[in-house]
Amino acid sequence: MNLYQLTEAQHALHTRLELAGFDEQTIADSLEGDDNTDALREKRLGYVAIIKNKRALAQARATAAADMAALADKEARDADRLENVLFESMLKTGDTELIGVEFEAKIKGKAASVIIKDAAAIPEQYMRMPEPTPPKAVPDKKAIGEAMKRGEFVAGCELGTNKKLVIG
């Protein structure tokens, strides 16, 4: 049986015993002696083993991906550095084209752009005042949660669960 079937069978047995009027200790003893209880426990332990294995595999893959990303970033930085060296070399000599058998490089671009190094040093005549933008409303989760806990309906919202499974 799968976990769903075992869980349903266990729940059904518990419900039958409860409806028959047995006390909690008798119900617990009956469930403990049931073959389904052992099968359910083993199935759940199997799930824990699979979960732990998948989490470890996910972590290993995330680490490998981070290592690959770091290597890719280093290669990109190296390419940028080499490109800057080539660019500066061509600018110094006034060359705008480099044509080879397999590759070519050309210096292209638009007119020079303004680079602001110190905005405080710019004369007032070259300053402008941007139009202010009004603030935007954001949901008040605390107020929404309190209203919903009182049984009020809040359109576009629902209460989530704060429970989680912890595997050690």
Kindly provide the residue ranges of all beta strands, DSSP E only, lying in the chain, ordered along the sequence: 97-99, 104-106
Any domain includes 110: yes
Any domain includes 43: yes
Range of the domain at 102: 3-122
Any domain includes 168: no
Whether 113 contacts 129, CB under 8 Å:
no
Query: Hey, is 148 helix, strand or coil?
Result: helix
Burial of 13 (0-12, 13-18, 19+ CB in 10 A): middle
pTM of the model: 0.48
The domain total for the chain is 1
Per residue of the chain (168 residues), give pLDDT as tens: 899 898 898 888 889 888 889 888 888 888 887 878 889 889 999 999 999 999 999 999 999 999 999 999 999 999 999 998 998 898 899 888 888 898 889 888 776 788 899 999 999 999 998 888 888 999 999 999 999 889 999 999 988 877 665 655
